[in-house]
Structure 1
């Protein structure tokens, strides 16, 4: 059931009213907005004709009606009580069409604010997609969510914005970039001076492995936040770090990684927990495979396959093949050019010492050494945590239940690229990583207030929990597979 409302904020497809620097407009329990100076000023300006925007009539919708529009061919979502039809826009979305589809029929206010750094740009795209708003009697979020918890999370974000926690320190990222340049240059100088013997090759491979991992962290930062004032520079630098320095498609990584962030550990929306037939993760997939008598491999020993296959082959085989496949099928010509420059650079710098075949072996030796590092860092915070089907939880619960932290130390911060603070990173993806440790106490306090377990563990324990989680999943599969 829909009705019409004469909208005094016509054309206001943005998240916030004029003059509002952040999201989080408060609403009373009856759904009506709490009066504040900013909103009143906006209304008066438009009433005086200063905004120059024609008034129009907006539909009012109930949550029951909105939740029906959750299919690929019919996608509505709610942002700050405004209803948007994003069906036609989905394929143009820079973060990938699946990110929008994952939130179709739901309140996307908090995930929208979390994933977008520059609201002024995205508001321009939202305006033509506006089709209505929630009816006054409807709550600001779905009824299964705690309004107090949601408001507390938004209040925390406002506090962190006031503390400038979302402002990047260019010197921090510049020094990490210099670290990568020094390692790459040092590797070439060592080969040039000492030759290409086995001992030298192993040593420079270690240097290049460290460079590759630090490049991963830099491109990860660039994927989430704009360090530079112009987005084109951010785009260029991410291409440089991901495609030129690592030889992987930036678009492939962005679309995959953003899905992971918006629906962490949710089947089948998070691609990071889809290991195909090789590994069964969580509690649902093993039971499903077991009841269907599916046994592609001996899942009883999947924790051993993790050591033999997962650790050494994630980077040189799985990620590389997946990246190449997506680049070719989707015709990402720009990415193909950048990735080609990765191999050309290696042939120019190391080809004179190793030849073409030897240079290829060097490249994949480095990826082989990098793979365990990246696998442990990326998997230790998620595989041991909760995995489920879609439950449409609030933003805080969805992230805290599916991620965990690793204890802070100078080494842990450097080794993981500050991704030992996964909880804070998932709650605030656009926050510069050098600020995670500053906001962690506030997040922990908020979790305690609402009875959510904030998991923080030693690094070696986190490594071991990956294998223990795989063993647990294998046991669930065995019980379902062998039951009579």
Structure 2
């Protein structure tokens, strides 16, 4: 289970977060929502199974390309459910959450549940922190002028025009997640490496085997490319609006828990459609303050959190989906400004 970053203890009566936490708890928003998740799991499972059934029915046909797109949506929705499982939003039992997460992550979509949990825990503890958040490490993209100045190799080359390359690069994210998952199996610190490895291998064999069993080689390769590309873009467009373009922190920034989470996060407006497509992560501020809060309660928590931030004079940022992407791209372009016109 993804551990919540250390929040002020309830005994710290004067803490800004403690006051907010008491209001949230009093409203019952930390209570589990088994009915909501039963319906959601049923719908996502039906979408996943139905997409594979449609794949089998369509058979050897170029009409499989739309099916590949539909299956990418199904994979993304399963991934979002695995995210909720990792945060303990669905079940209070760590064992149940882990077993379900291994099925949803490793077996269904080929994403190492244990590796992702470790990475995501570090992100939640220090969102948008240059030294501690793996999501803003300069592996390929650079996120600040300081990273640009220190960059070498591929990040320095891509960083010049990374805003224009962002969406094309997202088409590789699905493949990158699989490669990273298998690479993580070499880590002795990864819990249950054998089970993770077996389930990941089973996924790849079943996934690739099914595609090549039904489709001729050329069409199968196109199907896999379209499916993984759409899956990567979907996930990127889901997670990028949350923090990209928000302040990037360094060791010099000393913020309390509430400000560290709120000032680095952005909410996305859009109603039920956006809420469903993004798996509730459009309420990113509330999610970061209360990671174990069920997705269905985030919307109800929003006015309480927004009012509390307003009373403290803490910026609470929210905008539309396309505007959030625009802010992220402008930030990427500005971060690489010093590299443009500079020879490597």
Matched length: 339
- The aligned counterpart of 1:385 is 246
Change (3 A) 1:192 1:294: closer
Shift of 1:454: 0.6
Q: Verify the 8 A CA contact 1:281 1:473 in the aligned structure 2.
A: yes
Q: Give how far 1:363 is off.
A: 4.3
The answer to whether the 8 Å contact 1:302/1:470 transfers is yes
| Higher relative contact order (Cα pairs below 8 Å, separated by 6+ residues) | 2
Q: 2:76 matched to which residue of 1? A: 213
Instruction: Quote the residue 2:117 is aligned against.
Output: 254
Choose between structure 1 and 2: higher helix proportion.
Answer: 2
Greater fraction strand: 1
The question of whether the paired residues in 1 share the 8 Å contact of 2:60 and 2:216 is answered with no
Question: Distance between the aligned counterparts of 2:260 and 2:79, measured in 1?
Answer: 25
Do the aligned partners of 1:346 and 1:359 also contact (CA within 8 Å) in 2?
no
CA-CA distance at 1:271 after TM superposition = 0.3
Partner of 1:303: 163
* 1:312 aligned onto 2:312: no
- Measured on the aligned residues, the alpha-carbon RMSD in Å equals 2.9
Answer yes or no: is the 8 Å Cα contact 1:386–1:401 preserved in 2.
Answer: yes
| TM-score normalised by L of structure 2 | 0.88
> Does the aligned pair in 1 maintain the 2:241–2:325 contact within 8 Å?
yes
Distance change >3 Å, CA 396–CA 366, structure 1 → 2: same
Mapped to 2, the partners of 1:174 and 1:349 lie a distance apart of 29
1:303 to partner: Cα distance: 1.4
Q: Distance in 1 between matches of 2:23 and 2:159?
A: 47
| Alpha-carbon distance between aligned partners in 2 of 1:450 and 1:234, rounded to the nearest angstrom | 36
Q: In 1, Cα distance between the equivalents of 2:155 and 2:85?
A: 41
CA distance in 2, matches of 1:164, 1:295: 46
2:203 aligns with: 342
- The aligned residue for residue 416 of structure 1 is 278
When the two structures are superposed, what TM-score results if normalisation uses the length of structure 1? Answer: 0.64
Q: Show the counterpart of 1:31.
A: none
The Cα of 1:415 is off from its aligned counterpart by 1.1
Give the counterpart of 1:185 among 49, 61, 66.
Answer: 49
Q: Is the 8 A contact 1:283 1:387 kept in 2?
A: no
Task: Label 1:184 to 1:457 Cα distance change in 2 as closer, same or farther (>3 A).
Answer: same
The structure 2 residue matched to 1:398, chosen from 249, 260, 268, is 260
Per-residue CA deviation, residues 366-407 of structure 1 (Å, 9 max, x unaligned), is 221111111121112212000021233101110111111111
Over 3 Å counting, the alpha-carbon distance change for 1:253 and 1:295 in structure 2 is: closer
Partner of 2:20: 156
How far is 1:347 from its partner?
5.3
Output the CA distance in 1 between the equivalents of 2:111 and 2:137: 20
What is the SS of the residue equivalent to 1:297? helix
Q: Greater Rg, structure 1 or structure 2?
A: 1
Which of 32, 35, 43 pairs up with 1:171? 35
Worse-matched range after superposition: 295-304 or 387-396:
295-304
Q: List runs of 5+ in structure 2 lacking aligned partners.
A: none
Q: Hey, what's the Cα distance between the residues in 2 that align with 1:328 and 1:172?
A: 37
- Matching residue of 1:430: 292
Aligned partner of 1:443 among 305, 324, 338: 305
